[in-house]
A and B are shown apart, each in its own frame.
Chain A
Amino acid sequence: MTTRTRATSPGALPAAAAPPRRRRTRGFLILGALAAAVLLAAVLSVMVGARPVPPAGVWQALWSPSGTDADVIVRELRLPRTALGLLAGLALGLAGALMQGHTRNPLADPGLLGVTQGAAFAMVLSIVVFRLGSVYGYIWFGLAGALIASAAVFALGLAGGGRAGPTPVTLALAGAAVSAFLHALTSTVVLLDKQAMDVFRFWQLGSLAGRDAAVAGQVLPFVAAGTLLALANAPGLNALALGEDVARSLGRNVALTRFTGIAAITLLTGAAVAACGSLAFVGLIVPHLARALSGPDHRRLLPYSGLIGAALLLAADVTGRVVAHPGELEAGVVLALLGAPFFVALIRRTRSVHL
C-alpha cells in the first residue's frame, strides 16, 4: 500500500506536506466507510435484544412515541446503552492511539498511565467505605481515581525524563509501575472483603449492560473535551514520531504536546472506564487495526481509531446479546473472543506498520 511506504509528513508543515488529491480522496472514502459502519452498528444496537424491535418500530419510537412497550424499550433502555457504547468506544479507540503514539510502544494501552487501575482502586475503596451495592452509582469516584493516578504517573515520568518532558520509556515504565502498585492495593482490598470482590469481578470484565440512563450524559463532557484535545494533538504527535530533537527543531513545544496528549488520554479513558469497567482491550487493539488503514500519520490514525473503536464496541455488545439470547454475554468477553483472533490474523497477513 502506498500509505505505508510514504514517509511520515511532519505535522509542523501541513501545507507543504499535504498529500496529493488521490490520497486525500482515499482518506475521505475510508472515513465515510467507517462512519457508515458506526451508524450500522448503532442502528443494530437499538434494534437487537431480548425483545427485537423492527426498524419501523425504532423510527416510530424516535419521532412519535406513543408509550407502547417498544417505545419504552427503545427510549429508556436501548438508546442510552447505544449512546454509552458510542462514547466509550470512541474514547478508548482515541486514547489507545494517543497512548501508543506517545510511548511509541505497541504494547501501550490506555490503562498504562495508571488510569484504569486508579479508577478500579477508587471504586473498590468506595464500595468498602460506603457499602454500595453497585459501583456504577459512584462513577465520580472512578473518575477522580483515574485523574489522580494519571497525574501521579505524569509527574513521575516528568521527574524521570528531565527538562524536556517525559520520554517514552520513562512514561511507559512509570505507568507500568504505578499500575502494578495500584492493582496490588486493589487485590488486597478485594481479598480481604468479599463484597468488594463480588462487585469487582464484574467491573473487571467490562460491559455496557445495566447502566443508569444518566451515565452517558455524565461522561459526555469528558469525552467531548478529550476528543478535541486528542485531535488537536495529532500534528504534534506526528512531529514527535520523528524524535524529540527533530520535533523541537521543527518548532514544536515537546512538553506541551506531551501534556495535551496525556490530558486527553486521562479524560477519555477515565470517562470510559468509570462508565463501562475495564474494557482496555479496545484501546490496545483498535490502533493497530486503524494503522493498517491510515499508515503512520496521526491526523488520520486518530479519527479512524475513534470510529473503529465505537463500531467495534457496539458490534461486540450486539453480538453478546445475540449469541447468549435471551441472556447476554459481556461485551468485554465478546471483544476478546472475536476481536483477538481477527487481530492475530491481521498481524500475520500484513507487514505491520512499526511505531
Chain B
Amino acid sequence: MTRLRRFARRNPTIVIGAVLLAVVTVLAVAAPLVAGDPMLLKPEDRLMPPGARYWLGTDHLGRDIYARTVFGARISLVVGLSVAVLSVAIGLGIGLAAGYWRRVDALVMRFMDGMMAIPAILLAIALVSLNKASVGIVIIAITIPEVPRVVRLVRAVVLTVREMPYIEAAVSGGSRGLKIVLRHILPSTVAPLIVQATYITASAILIEAGLSFLGAGVPPEIPTWGNMIAQSRLFVVRAPWTIFAPGTALALVILAVNLVGDGLRDFLDVRLARRM
C-alpha cells in the first residue's frame, strides 16, 4: 500500500490519466447496464436540454445523448486500442528486421517512407469508398500510416543497441542472428514502444472522430463521438449540449491517454530514473 502511494505521489500524471481511462473503460464495457438504448428515436423528445429524464439532453431525433456518449466510448476505445496493438505488432517485426539486417533495411525503409506520405484521412476515404464503411475499415485505414512510425522508432533503437559491446559479446558467445535480435535487442525496444503505443492510441481516437465527423468513418447511425459532433453541427446554437457531451468526452479521453503516455515516458526513461 505504501509502495502504491509512493508511486502515485511520484507519478501523478500516470495515476490521474489511468483513473480517468479506467472510469471511461468501465462505462464503455458496462454500457448496456448504465445507459439506455442509444438508437431509440423519440421525436416528441427532440432537442431536450439536460435534465432529470435525460441527463445530458437529447439530440435532433430525440435520442438520449448520455446513452450515445457512453456507447460512443466503445468505438473510440476499440479503435484506439486496435490501432495501437496492430501497428505496434506489425511495426515491431519490420523494425527489428530492418534495423538488424542491412539488406532488409534498404528495401523496407524506402517502402515505409512511401507509406508515411499517405494521410490517414485520404486513405480512409479511399478505403471506405471501395468497401462498406465499418469500424474494421477505419482501423485498417488508421493503422497503415501509423506502422512506418513504429518501424522507424524500433529501427532507431535497434541501430543504437546493435553497436553496443554487449551485442558483440553475445555474438562472440555463439548466438545466432535471430536469437540476438529477439533476446538481446527486443527488450530494449519495449519501453519506447509502450510510450509510443499510448500516443498512437490518442491519435487513432482523434483520427477516428475526425473521419466520422467527415462522414468517411463509421456509418452515421452508429453512435460515435465524431458522428455525434457532426450531426449536432446544425443545432449547435439552439442546443449546444448536443455537441458538448461528445466533445468533452473526446477531449477528456485524449487528455487521459496523453497523461498516461507522458507519465510512462518519464517513468520508463532510464536517463530520468536516477531522480526517482
Whether chains A and B associate is no
Which A positions have Cβ atoms within 8 angstroms of B? none
Which B positions have Cβ atoms within 8 angstroms of A? none
